[in-house]
Structures are given as C-alpha cells and as structure tokens.
Amino acid sequence: MPYRAPAAEFRFILDQVVPLAPVSASERFAEATSETVDAILTEAARMCDEVMAPLNRASDLHPARLENGVLRSTPGFKEGFAAIREGGWVALAAAEEFGGMGLPQAVNMAVNDMMSGACLSLQLNPLLTQGQIEALEHHASDEIKALYLPKLISGEWSGTMNLTEPQAGTDVGALRTKAEPNGDGSYAITGQKIYISWGDSDLTENVCHLVLARLPDGAAGTRGISLFIVPKYLPDADGKPGQANSLSVVSLEHKMGLHGSPTCVMAYEGAQGWMVGGEHKGMAAMFTMMNNARLAVGVQGIGIAEAAFQKALDYAQEREQAGAIIQHADVRRMLATMKAEIFAARSIALACAVALDLGRASGDAEQSARAALLTPIAKAYGTDVGCNVAETGVQVHGGMGFIEETGAAQFYRDVRVTTIYEGTNGIQAMDLVARKMADNGEAAARLLQEVEDFAHSARAMLPQLAEDTWLAAESLREATEWLVHQEMQDRFAGAVPYLRAFARVLGAHYHLRAAVAEGGTGPRTDLARVYIRRLLPQYAACLAEAKEGAAGLYALTPEVLHG
C-alpha cells in the first residue's frame, strides 16, 4: 500500500497526550480551533497522499542535476511544489501581517511530519523557507520584511541558510566569507559556502540566501559574524526579480540519499546583500532560524520513520515464509518497537512545539525554557528514531530490503543526514547538558516533576506501567542533580547517553498518558506496555554511561587507538 499520512494520530496526540487546547485558548492563537486544526490536518494529509508521496521514488531515481549552471529538479517536483504553494502550506505559522496564517507551530510541525513522510526531498524546500521567514520576522528591518516576507510566505520565493564552509563546519567562527560595505546600505559578499540545501531551485522565481559573513572590522570567532540576505535575483523597483546577482552554484554534492534535494556548493563574488540583525550579531539572528530548523529536522526523522514503518508493516503482512512473516515473534517485536518509538518521538516533538507556542502566546518564561530544553531532545531523538526505524524496516524486508527496487533502503539513505545537519546529535546532547542546564537543571526538574505526578495519579489504573515510569523519572532527576555539579568535559563525555535517557523517560510518560486516555485497556495501552516494559529499561544503562566521565575516553590516545 502507498504512504498514508497519519492525520488521526495527530488528532489524538494534540487532544489527549500533548493538549493543544491551552494554546487555542490564548488570544494569539484563538483561530486554531479544534475544527480548524482538524480541517488543516485532513487537507494536508490528502495533499501528502495524493501529490507528494507519488514523487518520493522519483526523487531517488531521478536526482536534481546541474546542466550548464542551470538546476533541473526531479520530474514532478514543479507540480508538487505548486500544490504546496497554492495550498498555503509554507505559510501556516507565518505572521498574518505579511500573508501568513499565524497558526501554532504545533500544527505546522504536524503538517511537516506528514510532508516529510510523503517526500522528504521536496519537503526540505518549504521547510528552509519557513526557517528564513522566522529569522526575518524577528531580526530584519521593516524594509526587508516588507519586501521579502510576502514573497517567501506565498511560496513565490524560497529561502536557504548559508553557514558551512570547507574549513568551518561546527566551528562556524572559522568562516572566511567577507562582507564589504557598498556605501549605499548594501554589502558586497564574497566567499564560498558548502552543503547548501536547495541552494538553487527551478520551483520558485527567486532564491533568497541568508549568508553568514564577516565585516572588515569583525572580530575573530563567532562574535565578529554578521548575517546578510542575498537574493539570486535583485528585486527591481516593483519588488520583482530583476538583474542576476553575482552568485552561482559551483556544483551539486553527490550524496548518500536525498537525491531529489539539491545540495549546492555556492560561490559569492561580490554579491549584493543586505544586513539582517545588526553588525556582528549574525549568530543571534541565525540561531533563530537554526532553532526552528532543529525541531523541524527532528520532525523530518519522525516522518521518515512513519513511512518506513508503514512499508515494513505492509510487507510483513504480504510476505509468506511459513505463513505471513508478521506471525513470527521477532518480526512482531520489530514492528511493535518501530511503532512505539514513533509515537514517543512524535509526542516529544509536539510537546516541544506546544511549549514554544505557549511561551510566545503568553510570554510565560517557564514554557519558553521548556521549549528550549526539549529542542535538542526532539531533534536528536526524532532523527535517531528515523534512522533506527528505517534500518529496522530494511531488516523486516530481509534480503529484499537490500535490493534497491523495493524502496526500503531509500528511507534509510534519505534520513541518515538528519542526525548530522542543523548540529549533529552529539552537539544537541552537549547543548542539553551545558546551555540547557545553565539554570542548574530547574527546567528539567519542573518537567520531571510533572512526569512523576502523572505517574503517581495513574497507579490506580495501570500500577506496573506507572511505577516503572515513576522510578525512571526519579532516577533521571537524581542523575540531573549530579550532572549539574560536574566539570563540563565530564558532562560532554556522557551527554549523548544522558539525552537518550531523558528521551526514554519522556517517551514512557507520553505512552502512559495515551494508555490512561483510553481507559487502561486497548491498543494504545498494549503499545505503552511494549515501550515501558521493553524499551524504557534502557534508561538505566544510559545513565550509568552518562556518569562515567571523560577520563577513560582520553586515556585512549590516538597511539593506543591505532594499536
């Protein structure tokens, strides 16, 4: 069977598990009524199923290509993007002032999840534009907002982010791209950027690049970096694409997957750009886009996991080996694990989005802190689940999973990069144990208290599942109290297992909420039992590793590792 967007799953989570109701009750998001959200989910699911999903296989078999400097998209992408643009799917969370719908990020992320499962290569284009929209809304001048936001929000123009250079990856401060004042308020941008997703496009009439560069008086490192918007075509007096800017696509990267999404090497040769966010304040402005993208990339992982799971489930029901293979215990174990992981990751991502919406709607600092805490967890766990579920999907297919014609391997190849871009998952974990614990773990403690309180209230209905969840949350609380008193290098050495333990506990919490919502008996309770009894115990091993410190790792010098 083809991909089926899980709209009903989002309705359940946003109603029963991570309620959207408090967001809809706010003045800012009063338009996000249950009827409106239901209509959006229904229509988005239809578009994903009927328009985007049929393009996914073509995105792998017929990659984007560069012909004499001109980008050619995967066949069918123009029509697919037209449906995205005409449906307003770029504009869901954008400001109404410039033509957006002003809806909550929770709704936007639900739609992005479904679009990612349908065709990730195509979904990347509007996703990047959404991130640029948010950065401009927060940091651009009124003139730039008035010119660029309506075009980006309508989908007439698309947006990118340009950070990485050959010598400057995670260490963004090592960039060499220069910005020279032109004397008229604009700047001449010169340098090379790599790994620029959708750095060129034949789907939109203009491509707008947010480019990090250094002014002549910019200090070394990240403190001296500024941000500039650099369009492919310079807007004329009427705001329409005019003269070509001095920038070009040097080449397309040859990638493991995501072949339909062109990843460009970009050259800027005195290209005209305009500053966004003030002199030497580029990282603050870019982080607005990156934080949006980090949650969105976690959602991409979940969307691919959903698609890989659906394909594996269909195959397991059809494949005969001493009966349909779904009857075998180990196949059933794999499928149940895939389903349980997807629900947990999806709930964490939506909880992050809801906290973000509540913080924006009310100015509640605790909700904003919760969103900040959950962002690295949602990104890392969501993409880890994407990779693990896609890999398990190949295993369910057996030998046929290793044969490209089945399409099972495409999900793994496409999703693999999500654990790397927008900050590797190791960087996310380091962010969690450092910046997100700068409050001595107070935001984490508040969240874990809610987990424990709910588990306590669920003991009468589901005593074993509630007790297991409570004990795990209490252990994580104690580990967090220990963590905030450690040296930073010791925190970093255990950051990844600590994040995984946190995700395991939150996953148990949301599964328990789902089980309680259906009265403690039924399919969601059965799924919660799979997660809490089979997967949750991994938190203990993760916390043991997290507490081990850095000394043992640094004892293994390069000479020792070489043997």
Given the candidates 3.90.79.10, 3.40.50.1820, 3.50.50.60, 2.40.110.20, the CATH classification of the domain at 158-280 is: 2.40.110.20
Confidence (pLDDT) at 170:
77
DSSP state of 425: H
Q: Which two tokens stand for residue 477?
A: 């609380």
Which pLDDT value is given to residue 124?
A: 97
Question: What's the mean pLDDT when you consider all of the chain?
Answer: 95
pLDDT confidence of residue 418: 97
| CA–CA gap between residue 201 and residue 125 (Å, rounded) | 9
Q: Is the pLDDT of residue 174 over 90?
A: no
pLDDT in tens, 96-116: 999 999 999 999 999 999 999
Tokens 């809801």, located at residue: 354
Per-residue model confidence as pLDDT tens digits over 201-211: 999 999 999 99
Mean pLDDT of 12-39: 97
| End-to-end Cα spacing for the chain | 51
Question: 266-301: buried (b, 16+ CB within 10 Å) or exposed (e) per residue?
Answer: bbbeebbbbbbbeebbbbbbbebbbbbbbbbbbbbb
Question: CA–CA separation, 22 vs 118, rounded Å?
Answer: 30
Name the helix (H) or strand (E) containing 103: none
pLDDT band, very low/low/confident/very high, at 232 (cuts 50, 70, 90): very high
Mean pLDDT of 225-239: 94
The answer to whether the predicted template modeling score (pTM) of the entire model surpasses 0.75 is yes
Tell me: the pLDDT tens digits for 60-87? 999 999 998 899 999 999 999 999 999 9
What is the spatial distance between Cα 272 and Cα 261, in angstroms, rounded to a whole number?
A: 26
The radius of gyration computed from the CA coordinates of the chain, to the nearest angstrom, equals: 23
**How do residues 153-166 score in pLDDT, each as one tens digit?**
999 999 999 988 99
Q: Which of 165, 422, 442, 545 is flagged as catalytic?
A: 422
Residue 497 pLDDT greater than 90, yes or no: yes
pLDDT of 393-407, one tens digit each? Answer: 999 999 999 999 999
Active site residue 442: no
Q: Where are the domains of the chain?
A: 158-280, 429-551
pLDDT tens across 261-317, in order?
Answer: 999 999 999 999 999 998 998 888 877 777 778 999 999 999 999 999 999 999 999
Query: For the chain, what percent of residues have pLDDT higher than 70?
Result: 100
